Structure 1
């Protein structure tokens, strides 16, 4: 591999108590009742880390973790003050992508309407020079990003049309923004057409056919395929064949297979990476089998290098795991160990090679959410800090996650 190639990692670093970033409650119809932060507004958690793509050695904090805003007036005062201090830092980010020498990152933790917490939303898109890491400003402000219902941006990537596609984990489905100006263009999907429920969109991926592949999670664990030209929609992988919670995905370099990993193993079975026919979505077994998974505890995102090796960010294990073109762990599997350079809960991963082309992060994003059910009367129960699995409505048994394999840390 070219020695100049670097691997960039969105270091989510959720250190607030127990749990992931977003708490989602569902009502009796399995639509979103509420989406709330599981963090302290105005506090910086995330960073973007750079590693040598050949050795896995830590190089630098490409985007360092920000300094907490000081305030004597409480959490929301700090959140309000974030507009005026440390705007170059990221509160929470799980998605990064490159285009034309610029790194774009989502910021799930940026609070919009910080002085009105009852009606607030979260998210903005920021950009950095892909070589120096210099902050280049907001590409899409929090107000503009959330104006059409998008909440808690989870994944982002550029399409062949040059526009930016963003998923909303806390509502808004998938939306398209002008790739040059950041202006809102349209909502691709806000409702899952196969369930008539809110689309809880996590990961995004463009396939070799030019179609957009959307990871639909929690109230329908499936992969949706969307044709950008005709706007036709089909269910590429149905819930009965998809992983328990669809997570990191990518296409093999020969475009023959679609790979999708397990983010959380609800039944305690080993985490795997499944493979599907890239044209039909038909299941074809395992790319990374349960008996030889390199110590993988969650497949958050994945990307191939130019030599056919697969890199997987392991959110639960706080590590990057590497596999060869046949799905075998390379040198035991662990490429970047937990704690290297401060690595904790890695999310988005992407290669960047300044001397040639920048490779976009087209991998499905990590899912960092909990949820609770709401009764048909509309009274929401408190979000569970230990997700006990899904009930019969989700097609899986309610088996509590054990701490050693849980994304709760």
Structure 2
């Protein structure tokens, strides 16, 4: 954990989201892929060309709507962009086309929200947020008697708090970081301080299984996670500077998909597959693109 915290102190966090932006002016617009990057250091969201990596524009301007230390971001069922504003303990909503601020979708501290890290919409249309409860930055140690340390559920239309979908410490959870709903509809959550990945029932929030167990010898501080088109699970391991591949069902380790430091990767925190079938990895110091055998269908 010492390496983890020192890296966090040295570099600012950023997160990635691969999105499809329609080229206007056509009845049936052609899809043009671009990369949206949450820039923690500048309190903004930047847009880059997925193919060349060239900067396109500032999609969300610095501090818009009170944005401060953005982490994860995702598009909702309504086509708008939802961004974790970590330092304000809130989720902010922006126009998915223009980047204009709409509202504070989840108000500061709603439902006990404290130091949120990741978010995802479920098949029920509601919003789920990993709620770390940390007192400081992403690399801070877990506070004593952490009353958060859970996954919170909000109405996907109004942003109203519904419940603690995964209660504090549920299933052995300790500091939730990256999370995604799998093809089975269940919620997969990284547990930072146990170096494990837990799977929760999509309806009840009860623990189903631990797909990557603690002290597995493979993951050292799990940060981001994502699924390939075939349901394969990819997890970024921050302290080993690598990305690991798991079958996503039985918990079988398949391989080290991205080897430690490959391409200059340091401390990977964000993962996303692009429309080109490649895996994009955001590290604390450098973003790289890895060729994948998985084809992402248009």
TM-score norm. by structure 2 comes to 0.78
Say which of 291, 299, 303 aligns to 2:268: 299
SS at match of 2:105: strand
1:124-155 Cα deviation digits (max 9, x unpaired): 1111111111111111111xxx2432211111
SS at 2:112's partner residue?
coil
Matched with 1:249 is: 225
Partner of 1:174: 151
Which position in structure 2 is the counterpart of 1:330? none
2:56 is equivalent to residue 90 of structure 1: no
Shift of residue 3, structure 1, vs aligned partner: 6.8
Distance of 1:297 and 1:154 partners within structure 2: 20
Residue 200 of structure 1 deviates from its aligned partner by: 1.4
Matched ranges for 1:154-303 at <5 A: 154-170=117-133, 171-195=148-172, 199-218=174-193, 220-233=194-207, 234-241=209-216, 242-255=218-231, 257-265=232-240, 271-290=241-260, 293-303=262-272
Alignment check: 8 A CA contact 2:166 2:206 kept: no
Between Structure 1 and Structure 2, which shows a larger proportion of strand residues? 2
Distance in 2 (alpha carbons) for counterparts of 1:147 and 1:63: 23
1:370 corresponding residue in structure 2: none
Q: Which residue of 2 aligns with 1:320?
A: 287
Which residue in 2 is equivalent to 1:102? 80
Whole-angstrom distance in 2 between the partners of 1:238 and 1:326: 27
TM-superposed CA distance for 1:193, in Å, is: 4.1
| Cα distance in 2 for residues equivalent to 1:177 and 1:279 | 27
Counterparts of 1:57 and 1:231 in 2: how far apart (Å)? 41
Give unmatched runs, 5+ long, in structure 1.
14-44, 67-86, 111-122, 266-270, 328-356, 358-409
Any conservation in 2 of the 1:245–1:264 contact (CA below 8 Å)?
yes
Q: Please state whether the residue corresponding to 1:88 is helix, strand or coil.
A: helix
Contact 1:63 1:133 in 2 (8 A): yes
Equivalents in 1 of 2:170, 2:156: separation in Å?
Answer: 27
TM-score by length of 1: 0.58
Taking CA–CA contacts closer than 8 Å with sequence separation of 6 or more, which of the two structures ends up with the larger relative contact order? Answer: 1
Unaligned runs of at least 5 residues, structure 2: 1-19, 21-29, 134-147
TM superposition shift of 1:48: 0.5
Q: Distance in 2 between matches of 1:193 and 1:169?
A: 13
3-state SS of paired residue (1:191): coil
| Structure 2 residue 62 is the aligned partner of structure 1 residue 65 | yes
Give 3-state SS (helix, strand or coil) of 1:148's partner.
helix
Aligned length: 250
Report if the CA contact (8 A) 2:48-2:57 is conserved. Answer: yes
Q: Distance in 2 between matches of 1:191 and 1:124?
A: 19
State the structure with more CA Rg.
1
- 1: CA distance between counterparts of 2:155 and 2:167? 18
